[in-house]
Structure 1
């Protein structure tokens, strides 16, 4: 009598992972690219940043792959407008964090109860605040902006333009679009896909 043992092999990248990265990168990157041309900027910081609203969605829908797509999308949008992505390593990491934290913490395909809404908004806010801290550090260390400007103006403004907008509008978009994502088969039940 033979005893068979199951060997669990590491999961490989599948087509659905690539598709989720591409979808996230195209939508997120195009939103960043389009809004880069608005005159509302402090240096390279966009004062109107609607991409922050959709970033948590890709983390929740596609898990780690959606968060990776956010980095790819921003990287490509930087190249298209002539920015050197090597000057923005922490800013690129911040894009990942915007999707990673909500995606890791919230894995349901819809908001069922009030407690779900509160939990979802909490992790959106946490992701946005952590992302804005990384951007502020990037501005201080690599781009050499004065601390007064970074913490007194830019970081404060990001809490309004990114964090508050995402906390208000992301749950609305999630409620509106998640049914379509689930029906399309694009929603990943597990964070790693």
Structure 2
């Protein structure tokens, strides 16, 4: 699986909004790839193994962060509270009354979650990898972003086209994703150092020193 092609992946949203992270597209492809292996009964449990269908150099995959135009931003709030009346009407066990009535801590704690939602028609990623394998994986991508159980980020369609230039790391000399803090990159302008994983799984707490681009204009 060593035939790599630069490509542009455009994801069109059915509902026009999502809660999207700024992580590169390798995180999404890794999840799809490992799920495919799990379904086939071939997954060995190693979430750190190299993805054979993506080009890699300097310890990072050639996959960009998301690019999109925001039409507007909205805020969504969710309140979590324990309904004591309903609990009692269902003959709930009050042996742990002290814990049940305590809304300031533990499992019955009252809290509000607030989310910032971006509204956009489409999201674009740039990738350098095996075209046929990536097309096969993306057949199983129906939602993108967080809180997909609420219907956020529902995908209408995905366009995948091959392009001549690899834009997965740079577009017009501007980084398309976070980069490793090595001599090759650390002289570039508008970069600051931070601790963040360079490859998926990004949810693991194993950060590396990375360079992130900031547009000060």
Taking structure 1 as the reference length, the TM-score comes to: 0.28
Q: Which has the higher contact order (CA 8 A, sep 6+)?
A: 2
Kindly name which structure, 1 or 2, has the bigger radius of gyration based on alpha carbons.
Answer: 2
